[in-house]
């Protein structure tokens, strides 16, 4: 999953960063030192453009170590991090970027460093149902971009990714809630469903979440609360498939509640839905 995302978003990152850094090669040749750092930097860019990230990394790190006061040193540091990103050495890239941001909290390069840091977590986000800690870290770092740099070239893309991550986190919560529901633990599932409705509004799973909440509430005999939840579902998503299923659920409940007992019938209905 991570590799796919990396391929999709490499072009987006590459265009602005290369155009930014190609323009940084000063033509000044007043001293041997400046000639040397410029040559190293250009060599690193050439290796990078040819996808030889190992050699590019060597050049950029050499420049930073040997010419720490050069005007190209900070640019070389960012390109080192980007080379590590391309080499899939994500943890090393993260450490380098965090250090850079701490020392350079402002400026165009800091904006890009923040974006690349967020991308380092984004390409690692978990599959459905797995640990979501990386998703949350990516979300937090993208939020920093739209808060701290709302007018930057990276803010628009950050907003798109935030919505995707929020939806992924909501799906993960829904999966867990459905697991509890299937295991006849409606109270635990209700906590998950209500958390989704509170924290992940405007995500794609809201209709199903409301439906599953109806199921769980009916299992506990909380019919009045289920009716309220169902009303929200039908008002906001009247033609959604989950609204249709919810209507059927309440019809089954009203027809069978008197004769067979609410909990037993709802359990049987849920079994047919999952199976």
Q: Who contacts 57 (Cβ-Cβ below 8 Å, separation ≥6)?
A: 80, 83, 84, 87
Higher pLDDT: 264 or 72? It is 72
pLDDT at 31 over 70: no
Q: How confident is the model at residue 5 (pLDDT cuts 50, 70, 90)?
A: very low
pLDDT at 19: 56
Pick the CATH number of 170-274 from 1.25.40, 2.40.50, 2.60.120, 1.20.120: 1.25.40
Query: For the residues 31-59, what does the mean pLDDT come to?
Result: 87
DSSP string, 168-228: HHHHHHHHHHHHHHHTT-HHHHHHHHHHHHHH-TTSTTHHHHHHHHHHHHHHTT-HHHHHH
pLDDT at 17: 59
> How many beta carbons lie within 10 A of that of residue 224, not counting itself?
9
User: Do residues 17 and 25 touch, judged by C-beta distance below 8 A?
Assistant: no
pLDDT at 15 over 70: no
pLDDT at 268: 55
Q: Does domain 2-124 have CATH number 3.40.1160.10?
A: no
Please give the Cα distance from 188 to 145 (Å, whole number).
35
pLDDT at 269 over 70: no
pLDDT at 106: 84
pLDDT at 165 over 90: yes
Query: For the residues 158-169, what does the mean pLDDT come to?
Result: 95
Predicted confidence (pLDDT) per residue in 199-222, tens digit: 999 999 999 999 999 999 999 999
Please give the Cα distance from 238 to 248 (Å, whole number).
14
pLDDT at 274: 47
Q: Which of 226, 221, 234, 223 is nearest to 193 (CA)?
A: 226
| pTM for the structure as a whole | 0.75
CA distances from 209 to 189, 191, 192, 261, 265 (A): 10, 11, 9, 25, 20
Domain with CATH 1.25.40.10 in the chain: 2-124
User: Do residues 209 and 201 touch, judged by C-beta distance below 8 A?
Assistant: no
Q: Who contacts 77 (Cβ-Cβ below 8 Å, separation ≥6)?
A: 60, 64, 96, 100
Please give the Cα distance from 107 to 267 (Å, whole number).
59
Predicted confidence (pLDDT) per residue in 54-111, tens digit: 999 999 999 999 999 998 999 999 999 999 999 999 999 999 999 999 999 887 799 9
pLDDT at 265: 52
Burial track 87-124 (b if 16+ CB lie within 10 A, e otherwise):
eebbebbbebbeebbeeeeeeebbbbbbbbbbbbbbbb
pLDDT at 255 over 90: no
User: Do residues 93 and 85 touch, judged by C-beta distance below 8 A?
Assistant: yes
User: Do residues 246 and 232 touch, judged by C-beta distance below 8 A?
Assistant: no
């Amino acid at each position: 999953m991570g590799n796919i995302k990396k391929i999709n978003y490499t072009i987006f990152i590459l265009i602005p960063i290369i155009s930014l850094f190609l323009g940084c090669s000063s033509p000044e040749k007043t001293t041997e030192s400046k000639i040397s750092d410029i040559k190293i930097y250009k060599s690193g860019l050439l290796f990078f453009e040819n996808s030889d990230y190992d050699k590019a990394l060597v050049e950029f790190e050499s420049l930073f170590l040997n010419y720490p006061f050069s005007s190209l040193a900070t640019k070389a540091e960012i390109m080192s991090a980007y080379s590590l990103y391309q080499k899939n050495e994500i943890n090393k890239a993260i450490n380098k970027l965090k250090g850079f941001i701490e020392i350079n909290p402002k400026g165009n390069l800091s904006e890009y460093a923040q974006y690349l840091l967020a991308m380092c977590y984004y390409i690692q986000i978990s599959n459905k149902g797995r640990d979501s800690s990386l998703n949350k870290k990516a979300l937090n770092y993208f939020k920093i971009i739209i808060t701290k740099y709302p007018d930057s070239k990276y803010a628009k893309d950050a907003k798109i990714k935030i919505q995707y991550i929020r939806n992924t986190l909501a799906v993960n919560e829904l999966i867990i809630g459905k697991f509890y529901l299937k295991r006849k633990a409606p109270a635990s599932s209700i906590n998950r469903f209500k958390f989704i409705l509170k924290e992940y509004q405007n995500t794609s799973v809201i209709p199903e979440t409301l439906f599953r909440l109806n199921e769980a509430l009916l299992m506990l005999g909380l019919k009045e609360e289920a009716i309220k939840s169902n009303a929200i579902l039908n008002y906001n998503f009247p033609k959604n498939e989950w609204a249709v299923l919810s209507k059927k659920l309440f019809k089954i409940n009203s027809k069978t509640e008197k004769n067979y007992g609410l909990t037993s019938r709802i359990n049987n209905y849920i079994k047919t839905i999952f199976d």
